[in-house]
A = this chain, B = another copy of it.
Amino acid sequence: MGQFSEACACCQIRPLSVCSLLNQTDFEELGRSAYRVRLAARTTVFLEGETATSFYSLREGVVRLYKLLPDGRRQIVAFLMAGDFLGMTDSGRHEFSAVAVSPVALCKFSRASFARFIDKRPHLLRRVNELIVRELIQAQSHMVLLGQGSAEEKIVSFLIGWRDRLAKLRGAKDVIDLPMSRQDIADYLGLTIETVSRTLNRLEREGEIQILPGGVSLLDTERAEGLAAA
C-alpha cells in the first residue's frame, strides 16, 4: 500500500504541507501510507454527503470547495492550493464537494491509517491544528468579503488575496493566474457571472488591471490595495 519512492524525498511543497514538522523516519513512514493521485480538471475529489474515507494534502493545482443548494445555486466556500489539507469533518460525512479546477496532484491518506499514525505523534496533530486554524481565519476573512462591499470591492479584494496566496507559494509576480472560470469567481463572491465580467472589464478600461488569457495583471497596485480594505 502506498509508495514512498523518491516522490516524497523531492516533494517541493513539503515545508508548506502537513509534513513540515515530521522528522526523516516519520516522514518516510507517512509517505509509505500515502497514495499519490493525479486528477484532471473538473474531476471530483469527493462529494457533499459522501462518507469521508480519506484525507488529502494538495500538492499541485487548484481545488474548489462548494455547496449546492436545492434550487441549483452554488456557493464556493474556498479555493484550495498547494499545501492545503482537505477532508476534515466533524460528522464523518463531507459537508462540501471538492472538485479540481485545474489538473491537480494530491497525497491521499486513508482516514484510519492516518488516525493511527497521528496517535503516536502529537506534534503532527498540532500541525493539523495549525492548518485548520489557518483555514478558519481564511473562512472568516471570506465572510467579511461576502457580507460587505460592492461588486468592485469584492473582486479587487479577491484578486489581491489570491495574488498574496500565490506569492507565498512561488514568490511575487505581477501576473495573477486565475485558473478558475468567471462562473467560479461569481459563485465564490456571491455575484453573477455578468457582474464579474462587467466589473473586470470596467477595471481594465479604467487602467487598473489588464485581462489576459487565464489571468490578469495588476497595473495600479496602490489603488487596488486601497480598495481591498479588509
Contacts and interface: CB of A to CB of B under 8 A. Distances in A.
Interface stretch (A17-25, A104-112, A141-149): A141-149
Contacts of A126: 125
A69 B144 contact: yes
Contacts of A182: none
A135 B134 CA distance: 12
Contacts of A147: 75, 146, 187-190
B132 A133 contact: yes
A108 to B, nearest CB: 19
A119 interface: yes
A134 B189 CA distance: 23
B96 A140 contact: yes
A128 interface: yes
Nearest to A186: B147
A95 to B, nearest CB: 6
Given A88-B133, A126-B125, A133-B88, A146 B190 contact: yes
